[in-house]
Structures are given as structure tokens and as C-alpha cells.
Amino acid sequence: MPKKTDWIRHFSEAKKYSSRSEFAKSSPSAYGMLWKHGLLDHACSHMSISPVYSQKRWDSKSVLAEASKYGSRSEFKRACSGAYCYALSNGFLDQACAHMRNAGFWHLFELMAVAIKYSSFSDFRKSEPSAYSYAKKAGLNDIVASRLARRRSWTRDAVMSEAAAYGSRSSFRLLASGAYKHAVEHGYLDDACAHMQTGGKGFSADKPASLYVARLFSPLGVELFKAGITNRDPSARIAGLGVPDGWEVELLDVFSFDCGRDARIAEKRLHRKMSSYRYEGPSVLRNGNTELFTTSPLENMT
């Protein structure tokens, strides 16, 4: 439990801001601590209620009118997430954003939210041509396919064929969870994964590795940064962190090392430099929260 002086400091910090989103973005540690202990409403009682995050009931007409104010999807989402999410959930985000520059751009979480409505990739392609085209162009079809609400009845032959497309058990489990589960339940997972790369769990100090820096941005405007190491493709590692629904994730930079031991040394050195910026709020990720910071580690990469 924080000390009384900490509470006074957090409440004083909240007084500097006129909205919760501004408070969360500018001082995430204080915001997170107040939220964790149920004091956020009290600390923010002086703030005006933002129409963006209020319980305002949107409809297609008001959403289209709101969307017309913005020049890009990202600007629309950040400025008025309520209208943006209503358009996304009700299937007319493309229409609302048709006038915007780069209107064909889709964030990964948008693709996931749309894909889960369909039971097959062909249905997804026919019903969501814009999303399908972007996923194909960006090389995201495998990830999108993993979220399709498939009701497929797997057989051993079908699972073996599906497993052949993956190079590791982790990617097989992540991108084809139905096939993976069938193999586990019927006792032939080792056979299905016999062609895959082997190796112990966790990070190996003897294998090539990468130090990566990623940016996370919440629907409420909270911006955090993660610096970590992995022997795998950093994008695959990020996919396994358990990022909450609605959060944007951007891989900012990757630094490669021939030996994982050197990557670990570089990571520890960077974390020491960033210690005063370590995120101390509620857990955001399913794993890796100790590697989150409130400012970009790239500024300390020397």
C-alpha cells in the first residue's frame, strides 16, 4: 500500500489535468496507482466528462458525421474512439473512413475483430474485401486465419497437413489452435510436430537473439514502451505477450545479436538506464510487464 505522501502526490498530479485521457497519457504511473486502489473517480472528480468516452449512444448517422472531421483512421480512433468502435463493431468502418487518406489501412486488432465473425476464410474474403486485401498485402493472412470462428471438424490427416505449414510448436499453437488441440487430445502432437524446430522453452543464451523495442497505445490514450529479448521473430514474440483487446502495438526497432548472451547484457544495461521510467501501474500484458516503460527506450540506446 503506498504511503500517505504518495497519495498526496498522486492527487496533486491529477489536479493538473482537465480530462482522464490527458491524465492517463501524461502520468500513467499515478493514474494506474489511483485506479488500482479505487481512488480514480475521487481524484478525477474535478474533470469534465469527455463525450468520447461517455455512455453516449452512437448511431450510423452521428458516426458518419463524426468521422467526416478526421483525415485518417488513426486520428479518428484517437480523437473519438466511441464512434470509431461503433463503426467497427457494426461493419461500416470502411464507409466512415472512405474519405480519409490511406483509407485502405487496417490495424491488426481491426482485422481480428472483423475476422472472428466468419467461419471460413472464403466467407471473410467475400464479405470483407478491403480487410482481406490489406491482410494479403501485409502478409497477415496466417494471423487472421487463426482468429476465424471456424467450426471445422478436424481429422488426423487434416491436422497433419495443417501442421506442415508451421516451423515451430508455438506458431502452430498460436495460428492453428483448433488443429493443435485436436492433436493434443488424440495423442499425436509429437508426430504432427516432428518436422518442427526443437529447443527448450524460454530464452537461450547460446542462440542468436534480438533486442526489440515496441510501442503500445491504449484506447484511452495511455502510451507505453516495451524493451525485451527473444530468440524468435520479435513479431511472433509480441503476439504472445497477451496484449489487451483494443491496444495498438507497433514494433519500433530490432537489434540483432549473434549470441543471446550479448543480447541479455544489452537488455540489462538498457533496463538499468530506464529504471526511473519503469511502468508501475496495473498489469497490461499477460507476461512481460516488468519490461514496460513510460518513455521510449530508443532515446537511451547508446
Domain regions of the chain by residue span: 4-43, 152-192, 209-300
Q: What is the structure's pLDDT at 51?
A: 47
Pick from 264, 212, 217: which is nearest to 236 by CA?
A: 212
Higher-confidence position of 153 and 181: 181
Q: What is the pLDDT of residue 200?
A: 42
* DSSP assigned state of 234: H
Residue 289 contacts residue 241 (beta carbons within 8 Å): no
Average of per-residue pLDDT across 238-244: 75
> Among 115, 108, 82, which Cα is nearest to 96's?
82
Average of per-residue pLDDT across 248-266: 87
| pLDDT value, residue 2 | 52
**Share above pLDDT 90 across residues of the chain, in percent, rounded to a whole number:** 1
Give the separation between CA 65 and CA 61, rounded to whole angstroms. Answer: 6
Angle between helices 108-115 and 81-89 (to 10 degrees): 40
Question: Which residues 6+ apart lie within 8 Å of 273 measured at CB?
Answer: 297, 300
233 vs 287: CA distance, rounded Å: 17
The full DSSP string for 57-113 is ---HHHHHHHHTT-SSHHHHHHH-HHHHHHHHHTT-HHHHTTTSTTTT---HHHHHH
Please return the burial class of 301, using the count of CB atoms within 10 Å of its CB with bins 0-12, 13-18 and 19+: middle
Higher pLDDT, 95 or 168: 95
- The answer to whether residue 294 scores a pLDDT higher than 80 is yes
Q: Specify the higher pLDDT residue, 299 or 147.
A: 299
Could you tell me if residue 192 is left (phi over 0), alpha (psi between -120 and 50 degrees) or otherwise beta?
alpha
Mean pLDDT of the chain: 77
* Secondary structure (3-state) at 152: coil
- Dist. CA 198–CA 49, nearest whole Å: 53
Helices 129-137 & 108-115 angle (0-180, nearest 10) = 130
Position 18 pLDDT exceeds 50? yes
> Is the per-residue pLDDT at 283 higher than 60?
yes
Most confident of 1-15, 37-51, 203-217: 203-217
How do residues 35-90 score in pLDDT, each as one tens digit?
777 777 678 778 765 444 444 567 888 888 888 888 777 778 777 777 877 787 77
Computed from CA positions of residues 67, 69, 73, 78, in that sequence, does the dihedral angle turn out positive or negative? negative
Which grid coordinates are listed for 99?
474519405
Averaged pLDDT, 21-31: 77
pLDDT at position 55, please?
Answer: 43
Report the pLDDT value the prediction gives residue 125, as an integer from 0 to 100.
Answer: 79
Residues near 115 by Cβ (< 8 Å), separated by ≥ 6? Answer: 124, 128, 131, 144, 145, 147, 148
Residue type present at position 56: K
